[in-house]
Amino acid sequence: MTVQTINKSYPTSNITLDAARMLIAESITAANEIGIKVTVAITDAAGQLTAFERVDGAPLLAIDIAIDKAYTASGFGLGTHVWNEILKNDVVSQLAHRPRLVSVGGGCVIVDGGKVIGGIGISGGTAIQDQQAAEKALRVLGYEVV
């Protein structure tokens, strides 16, 4: 019998704090252009909060929603705007009851070089407005929009 060598770990990529801060700034600029007051959350690839900001006048409930949108996007590697369709499928409908899973637009995966490095969550406008602000910020900074 031979002992196989196995990998005991693998490298991961995560968004840096500086990049997260730049993404927040661009998100707020995009939200201002749309005319909404937002909360923006950035998580790392594991869904842990990296950076956060709430503009003056943004709704109080937007705080947790933005964080959970970023968490959902990074955790599944999938934007939150696609979850309504996914949850219509009986096979995964139990996911709708998962705490922190958000199934409305405004949460996007942060992808750099084909790798998920985090998630962005924006809350304060409509789901479509939140998604538009997130996608615009991602594009301005050269991230892939998936």
% of the chain surpassing 70 pLDDT: 92
pLDDT at 2: 62
**pLDDT for 43-98, tens place per residue?**
999 999 999 999 999 999 999 999 999 999 999 899 999 887 777 766 666 666 67
Q: Residue 102, Cβ neighbours under 10 Å: how many?
A: 24
- 3 state DSSP class of 30: helix
At 82, list the tokens.
């696609």
Contact 73, 119 (CB under 8 A): yes
What would the mean pLDDT of 24-41 be, rounded to a whole number?
A: 98
Model pTM score: 0.90
Asked whether the predicted pLDDT for residue 1 surpasses 60, the reply is no
Q: What angle do CA 47, 53, 59 make, to 5 degrees?
A: 105
pLDDT at 103: 86
Q: Which residues make beta-bridge pairs with 122?
A: 40
Residue 110 C-beta-side C-alpha neighbours within 13 Å = 32
Higher local confidence (pLDDT), 4 or 7: 7
